Amino acid sequence: MAKCYTCGKESRGGMPTAKINGEERTYCADCYWKVEKEYKGKKNCDECSYFTEETCKKKGRKVECAKVGYTEYYPEAEGCASFSTDKEVAMAEIHKLEKQGKFEDAADAYDRWGMTVEAQAARRKAPATKSGIEQKIKELAKSGQTLTYYCPHCGTQLKVGAKNQTVQKFCNNCHGDLSVVDLEKLVEQHS
C-alpha cells in the first residue's frame, strides 16, 4: 500500500515518486502535480552556461538534483550568484562535451540555446542505443510476461509486455497524463 508524502492518501496501485533533497517521496496524483508545478516555476541550473552533467563548473562540484517523474531539476540556481547565460561560456562547455564523445549531452545543451541544427548534428554522431525502458519492455515481452499497473488518476488497469510493447502516454479512460508513472521502476521490480 503506497501512501502520499504530503496528504497521507493511500493507494493500492503505484503512485508517482519524486526525489527531493536526496529523499525519494511518493505522492498522490494531485500532490504530485503541485510539486511538479513548484519546480517548473524555478530558475534551473541546466539553463546556466557553467552547468554540465549535473556539475557546476564554476563551483567545481555536483549540484543537488530534484527528480520529479522523468524530469530532473537543479533548483540551486534560484540563489546562485554565479548563474550565467553567457553563450560563449556555454559553447566552450559544449565543445568540451563533444571532444569527450558525449554527443547526447552536447545536443541537449545546443537545444537549450535553440540551436536545433547543431543539436541534430551532435545526435547523429552519438552511437545508436535503445532507451532503458524500451529495452526492458522488450525483454519482458520476450519472456512472455505482461506487467499490469494502474492509472494514478482513475485507477484504470493498464498493461505492457508480451501483448502490448507500446508505452501509453495518456490513459484511455480519463486521458490523464501517465508520465507520472515511473514505468521503468515498475518493470525493474517486476523482473
At 154-178, the pLDDT tens digits run 888 888 887 777 778 888 888 778 8
Predicted local distance difference test score (pLDDT) of residue 7 = 93
* Same domain membership, residue 65 and residue 17: yes
Q: Buried (b) or exposed (e) across 158-170, using 16+ Cβ within 10 A?
A: bebbeeeeebeee
- pTM, two decimals, is 0.41
Please report whether residue 45 resides in a domain: yes
- In the chain, the number of structural domains is 3
* Same domain membership, residue 160 and residue 143: yes
Q: What is the CA radius of gyration of the chain?
A: 19
Please report whether residue 81 resides in a domain: no
Please report whether residue 39 resides in a domain: yes
* Same domain membership, residue 109 and residue 70: no
| Interval 104-117 mean pLDDT | 83
Cell 525502458, residue located: 133
pLDDT digits 0-9 by tens, 29-57 = 889 888 888 887 777 877 787 777 778 87
Domain of 115, in residue numbers: 86-128
pLDDT digits 0-9 by tens, 56-81 = 877 888 888 878 877 777 878 878 88
